[in-house]
Amino acid sequence: MTVVREDGLVGSAFEALADPTRRSILILIADGEECTAGEIALRTTTVARNTVSTHLRILRTAGLVHERRSGRHRFYSVDQNGPARHVLTTLQTIFRTPDGR
């Protein structure tokens, strides 16, 4: 059995993803298009813009979301260089079937 250590940013990423709203936000921006907090709030319809901003800050701190500033605007996208890849690898290891699939 392979033992997977959960530490550093990977652990923070799992903590951030424990919240269903943050998971929803990450799924919304996973299509590759950059979005502002206001655009995300419009798409979710149940979360206010300032609440979305708070969730985005947590996702960014966990290394899951990248923030790009342009003037007064902040654009968010999935951080391709963050721990997201390690999180997926960990989940694949956990849920791998006995025959390796």
Domain ranges of the chain: 8-94
Which pTM was predicted? 0.78
Dump pLDDT digits (tens) for 5-19: 556 767 888 899 899
Residue 29, Cβ density class (10 Å: 0-12 exposed, 13-18 middle, ≥19 buried):
buried
Question: Which CA distances in Å does 87 have to 6, 10, 39, 64, 99?
Answer: 9, 6, 26, 10, 22
- Could you tell me which CATH number the domain at 8-94 has? 1.10.10.10
Provide the token pair at 54: 């708070």
16 near 62, Cβ under 8 Å?
Answer: yes
- Highest mean pLDDT (candidates 3-17, 51-65, 85-99): 51-65
Looking at the predicted structure, is the pLDDT value of residue 4 above 80?
no
